[in-house]
Amino acid sequence: MKRKGFRFYLRIYFKILAQDLKSKMSYRADFIISTVGMIFTNIAGFVSFWIMFRNFPSISGYSYHEMLFLYGFSLLSVTPTQCMLDNNWNLRQQVYSGDFIKYCFRPINLFFYYESEIFDAKGLGQLAFGIGTLVYAWAKLGLAVTPLAVLKLLVFLAGASFVMAALQTAAAASCFWIENSFYVLDLAFRFRDYAKYPITIFSPVFRFIFTYIIPIAFIAYYPGMMVLRPSEVSLLSWLSPLIGAVFFYLAYRFWMYGASKFNSTGS
Amino acid sequence: MKLRKYFALTRAGIIESLHFKLGMFVMVIGNLLYLILVYFLWRSIYASAGGGSVNGMTFTDTLIYLVLATALFNFMEMYTVWEIGRNIQSGKIVLDLLKPMSYRRYLFWSYSGGFVTQFFATFLPTFIAVTVLTHGAVPLGINLLWFALSVVLAVMINYSIDFIVGTICLFTESIWGINIMKQVIVLLLSGATIPLAFFPDSLRKIVDCLPFQSIYNAPLTILLQADPTPAEVLPTVAVQLLWAVGLTVVSSLFWKCSLRQITVNGG
Amino acid sequence: MDEIIRINHITKEFRVPDRHEGLRGSIRDLFSRSYHTVHAVDDISISIAQGEIVGYLGPNGAGKSTTIKMMAGVLEPTSGEILVNGCVPYKNRTRNAQNIGVVFGQRSQLWWALPLVESFRLLKDIYQITDAQYDEMLALYRSLVDIEPLLHKPVRQMSLGQRTLSDILAAFLHDPKIVFLDEPTIGLDVSMKAKIRTLIHELNRRKNTTVILTTHDMGDVDALCRRIVIIDKGKMLYDNDIEHLKKFFGAYRTLKLRVKGDLSEQAKRIAAELPECSVSANENWISVLVNEDKQKVISVLSQLQKSYDIRDMQLEEISSEDVIKRIYEGGVV
C-alpha cells in the first residue's frame, strides 16, 4: 500500500467533487432554488446593513465603507466552511440514525471522507457576493492595489476561514454527546453574522470574550485590519493565521474524538 | 372533550422538548450572545447619532423592541416548513394525513407543546428581565392586553405563512432553499431584525402593504405604547385580523388544492 | 490454514444513561442522570482461518455488531485482544480498513446520487487499486452476475436487491482479506436471496476471501456456512461445525401433523399431553419436536392417534433453524 499523502487526498477530493457536482445537476430545480435562497440571504443581509448604517457617517470610528469592507471580508472567510464543511449539518441525523457508521470502514481519514461527500456549490454565490462587496469597499476607500496587499488579503483570509471552520466543526461534533445539537450548530452559524462588526463596539469585557473565549473577532476584524488599516494593527492581527490553524486543528481532534465515542455507544 | 386530544399533543410536545436539556441551555446562551451584540451595536449607532432619539425611537425603545423581538422569534419559530418538507420526503405525511384531524391543525397542535415550553423558558423570563432592568420603560397597563391579543394574531399569521411555504414543498424537493428564502424575507420585512421605524420611507410604504409587519412590528409597537386608547391600537389589530383570517383561508385552500393535484398526479 | 483473525477474551462494556418515563421523569432527567453498565460482549474468543465462511448468529442485541465493529477497528475493546491480519484493528484503523470490506444490511455505503460505476471508480482511488486489479475484478463480476444494467444506474434509483448486490460487489472490489456481511439478505425476495448467496459463495471460492456473516436467515447459513458461532447476551454459546451441531441434535425429529379441529387449539392440548416435546403450530401444520432418546416417534404417534383424528402427517429431520432455536431457548450446549 502506498502512503497516503496530501496529493492523494487532494486528488480524491477533486474526483469526489466532480462527481458530486455532476449529480447535483440531476437535481436542477433544487440547485436553482437553493442558490436563489442563498442570494436572498445575502441581499437581505446587505439591505439590513444598509438600513442600519446609511444614516451615520461612522460607527465607533469606522466609516461606512470600512464597515462594508469587514462585511465583505467576513462573507469570504465563511465561504470555505459553507462550501466544504456543509455535511456537518447532516451529522446530527447520521449519528442519531446510526448511519454514521458507514463512513468508518474506509481506509482514509474519517473527517476528510465524511466532509468530502458534499460540496455546497451554492456557497459560490456567497463567494461572488463577498468579492463584489470587498472590491466595492476597497475602491471606495481608495486602498492601494499592490501585490503585497493582495497577498496579505489572501493569507489572512485563509487564516480567518480556519476560525469559522473550527467553530462550525466543533459545534457539529457536539452531536456526539448531546441530543438535538441543532441549537449548538445554529448558534455557531449565527456567529457568522456577529463577526462582521469591528470589535471596538464592545466593552472591554466582551472584547476579551470575543477574542480569547469565542474567537469570532478572528473571522473578520483582526485579519481584516491587516489590509484595512495596516498602520495600526496589533500583534493579534499578525498572529491570526496561526491562531486559526491551531484552533481548527483542535476542533478537528474534537470531532474525531467524538466519532470514536459514537461507536462506543452501541447501536 | 374535543380539546383533550389537542392537549394530549401539547403534553407530548412538552416532554419531547424537555428531553433536549442541553439544547435549551445552548439556546439561552445563544440568545444572550445575540442580545449582547444587539446592545453594543445599537449603543454605537446611537452614540454616533449623538444620542437622543433616532426615527422617533430612543435607545431604550429600540433595545426593548429588539430583545422582545428575539424572544418572540424563539416563541414563534416552529420550523414548520422543515417539518412539512421532511414529512413529505420521508413519506410520514401519509400517516399524518390518516389522523382524524386536518393536517394543518394536527401540525399546529403538535407544536403547541413547544409554544408552551418556549413561552415559559424564554419569553416570560426575557420579558420580566427587560421590565426590571429598564426600570419601567415597558409600560405596564392596558397595552399588555392588546399585546397579548396581537401576539395571538401574529402566531396565526406566522403559522399560515409557514404552512403556505411548507405546502410548496409538495412540488419541489428544495426544502432548504424555500425555507431560507421564507426566513430571511419574514425576518427582515417583519421588523424582527431592525425596527421598521428605521426603514427608508419608500421601503416602509411597501412593507406596510405586506402581511409580515403584522408578525413582529405590530405587537411590539403596541407594547411600547403607554396607555393606548382603542382608537390608537384598533387599526393595527384590525389589519392583523384581516391578514390572519385571509391567510388562514388561503393556506387551507392552497393545501387542499395542492394535495388533490398531487394525489391525482400520483406524486 | 493461515489464521486471519484471532480474538482473545475480549469484552466490551457500555455506559447507558437511564431515562425515566412521563412528564415527571423528563423533568428529573433534566437535573440528574444515572447510568448503568451493559456488557455487550463478554469474554469471547474466536480464531478464524483465511478463506472460511463463518456464520455469526445470535438474537437481536446479542452483541454481534459490537464484535464486528471491534474487528473493523472502529471500536476499542474494554479488555482482551484482537488481531486482524496480524495487526490490532483499533490502533491502525485505516491500515486495517484496507484489508476489510463491510456491508451493513440496509445502510448503503455507496454514493447515493452516483451511478454504480462512478462509485467503483472512487473506491478504486480510495483503496488505491491498480488498473489491472480493477479490470480483473470487474471481469470476474461480469462472469458471476449481470452487472451491466446496474453499472450506469444511480444507487438511489435501485431496488433494495440491486442495492444490496451493488454493496456486496463494492465491498469485494479491493480484494480484501476479510468481508463482513451484516444481514445481507434482509428484506429480499427468494430469487434475489439465492442470487446473492451464490455470489458470496463464488467470490469466497475464487478469491479465498474470509467471510463473516451475521444473519437471522437460516437459509443463508445452510447455503454458505460450514462453521457457525452463536452468541447471546454477549456470551459465546457455540463455536463449531454446523454438522456437529446437527449431530448433537440428531436424536431430534420433527413430527408434523394435520388433525381435525382448530390447529392452534389442538396444539395446546397436545402440548399438555406431551410434556417431553415442544409443540408449535402454524396455519398448516402442528409441529412436534421429539427427542428420540427419550421417546420414539412411533409411540408419540400411536399415543396421539387414540385421541385425535389425524388427517395427514410428515416426518422431518431437524433443520438448522430448529437447532438454533433450541439453543437460544435452552442453552443446551
CB atoms within 10 A of CB A150: 11
Mutate to test the interface with C, among A10, A17, A103, A106 (most CBs of C within 10 A): A106
Q: What is the pLDDT of residue C1?
A: 59
Among chain C residues, the shortest Cα distance to A108 is held by: C94
Residues of each domain in chain C carrying CATH 3.30.70.920: 251-317
| C121/A contact by beta carbon, under 8 A | yes
Residue with the bigger pLDDT between C149 and B21: it is C149
How many angstroms separate the CA atoms of B214 and B221, rounded? 10
Cell of B53: 432619539
Higher pLDDT, B129 or B7: B129
pLDDT at B86: 81
Give C35's Cβ-side CA count (13 Å radius): 7
Helix (H, G, I), strand (E, B) or coil at B128: helix
**Alpha-carbon gap, residue A181 to A255, rounded angstroms:** 14
DSSP secondary-structure letter at B122?
I
Give the pLDDT of residue B259.
81
- Determine contact, residues B72/B216, Cβ cutoff 8 Å: yes
Per-residue pLDDT, averaged over C191-209, amounts to 92
Q: Given an 8 Å threshold on Cβ–Cβ distance, is C26 in contact with B11?
A: no
Q: If you average pLDDT over residues A104-126, what whole number do you get? A: 89
A126 touches B: beta carbon within 8 Å: no
Of all residues in chain B, the percent with pLDDT exceeding 90 is 23
For residue B117, give the C-alpha cell: 415550553
Mutate to test the interface with C, among B9, B10, B11, B18 (most CBs of C within 10 A): B18
Q: What is the pLDDT of residues C8-41, one digit of tens each?
A: 999 988 877 666 666 666 666 655 666 778 888 8
Q: Cβ B15–C30 below 8 Å, yes or no?
A: no
Q: How confident is the model at residue A267 (pLDDT cuts 50, 70, 90)?
A: very low
Determine the Cα–Cα distance for residues C100 and C119; give it in Å rounded to an integer: 17
Superfamily of domain C46-246: P-loop containing nucleotide triphosphate hydrolases (3.40.50.300)
Q: What is the pLDDT of residues B231-255, one digit of tens each?
A: 888 999 999 999 999 999 999 999 9
Task: With CB atoms and an 8 Å threshold, state whether B23 touches A181.
Answer: yes
> What pLDDT is recorded for position C32?
60
**DSSP letter for each residue of chain A:** -----HHHHHHHHHHHHHHHHHHHGGGHHHHHHHHHHHHHHHHHHHHHHHHHHTT-SEETTEEHHHHHHHHHHHHHHHHHHHHHSTTHHHHHHHHHHTGGGGGTTSSS-HHHHHHHT---TTHHHHHHHHHHHHHHHHHHHT----HHHHHHHHHHHHHHHHHHHHHHHHHHHGGGTSTTTHHHHHHHHHHHHHTTS-GGGS-HHHHHIIIIIS-GGGTTHHHHHHHH-GGG--HHHHHHHHHHHHHHHHHHHHHHHHHHHHHTT--
Q: Is B14 helix (H, G, I), strand (E, B) or coil?
A: helix
**Residues from chain C contacting residue B13 (CB–CB below 8 Å):** none
Q: What does the pLDDT average to over C259-273? A: 83
Weakest mean pLDDT among B147-151, B156-160, C76-80, C106-110: C106-110
Shortest CA gap C32–chain A (Å): 15
**Are C122 and A12 a contacting pair at CB < 8 A?**
yes
Residues with Cβ within 8 Å of B158's Cβ and at least 6 positions away in sequence, in order, are B76, B186, B215
Residue A265 clears pLDDT 70, i.e. is over it: no
pLDDT at C76: 86
Q: Which CATH number is C251-317's, of 3.40.50.1820, 3.30.70.920, 3.30.1490.20, 3.30.70.1380? A: 3.30.70.920
Residue C114 near chain A (CB below 8 Å): yes
Taking the CB of residue A233, how many other CB atoms lie within 10 A of it? Answer: 17
Using a CB–CB cutoff of 8 Å, tell me whether C164 touches chain A. Answer: no
Cβ B19–C27 below 8 Å, yes or no? no
- Interface membership of B18 toward C (CB under 8 Å): yes
Contacts of B73 in chain A (CB under 8 A): none
Q: Whole-angstrom Cα distance, residue B77 to residue B159?
A: 9
Q: Above 50 in pLDDT, residue B267?
A: no
What confidence category does residue C215 fall into, taking pLDDT thresholds of 50, 70 and 90? confident
What is the DSSP secondary-structure string of C188-241?
A: --HHHHHHHHHHHHHHHHHH--EEEEE-S-HHHHHHH-SEEEEEETTEEEEEEE
Q: Which of C12, C108, C118 sits opposite A19 (nearest CB)?
A: C118
Whether A257 has its CB under 8 Å from any CB of chain B: the answer is no
Three-state secondary structure along C247-268? HHCCCEEEEEEEECCCHHHHHH
Strand partners, C54: C212, C227
> Mind telling me how many Å the CA of C98 is from chain A's nearest CA?
5
Q: Which residues of B touch C26 (CB under 8 A)?
A: 15, 18-19
Average pLDDT value over all residues in chain C: 84
Task: State how far the Cα of C98 lies from the Cα of C120, in Å rounded to an integer.
Answer: 15
Question: Three-state DSSP class for C127?
Answer: coil
Average pLDDT on B34-57 reads 84
pLDDT at B82: 82
Main-chain phi, psi angles of A73, to 5 degrees:
-60, -45
- Return the higher-pLDDT residue of C255 and A131: A131
What number of other Cβ atoms are within 10 A of residue A80's Cβ?
Answer: 18
CA–CA separation, C145 vs C141, rounded Å?
A: 6
* pLDDT at residue A266 is higher than 60: no
In this structure, what C-alpha cell is assigned to residue C97? 480498513
Residues of chain A with C-beta less than 8 angstroms from the C-beta of B176: 34, 37
**Cα B77 from Cα C308, distance rounded (Å):** 69
Q: Return the pLDDT at A136.
A: 94
From C248, C250, C268, select the one nearest C259 (Cα to Cα): C268
Question: Which of C64, C91, C114, C172 should we substitute to test contact with A (largest number of A Cβ atoms within 10 Å)?
Answer: C114
Torsion of CA B170, B174, B178, B179, to 10 degrees: 100
pLDDT in tens, A239-263: 999 999 999 999 999 999 998 887 6
pLDDT digits 0-9 by tens, C38-51: 888 888 999 999 99
Given pLDDT bands bounded at 50, 70 and 90, which one contains residue C167? very high
- Banded pLDDT at A99 (limits 50, 70, 90): confident
Q: Rg (Cα) of chain A, in Å, rounded?
A: 19
pLDDT at B154: 93
Q: Does A46 touch chain B (CB under 8 A)?
A: no
- Average pLDDT over chain B reads 83
Rounded distance, CA A184 to CA A166, Å? 13
pLDDT at C209: 93
Q: Which residues in A186-225 are b (16+ Cβ under 10 Å) and which e? A: ebbbbbbbbbbbbbebbeeebbebbbeebbbbbbbbbbbb
Residues of A in contact with B199 (CB under 8 A): 51
Q: Tens of pLDDT along A37-78?
A: 888 889 998 999 898 888 777 888 888 899 999 999 999 999
- Residue A138 is predicted with a pLDDT of 92
What is the chain B residue with the closest CA to C27?
A: B18
Does residue A197 belong to the interface with chain B, where contact is any CB pair within 8 Å? yes
pLDDT mean across residues, chain A? 87
**Nine-digit cell at B120?**
415559559
Q: Which chains touch A (3+ CB pairs under 8 A)?
A: B, C
Higher-confidence residue: B50 or B189? B189
Chain A residue closest in CA terms to B19: A179
Distance from CA of A193 to the nearest CA of B (A): 10
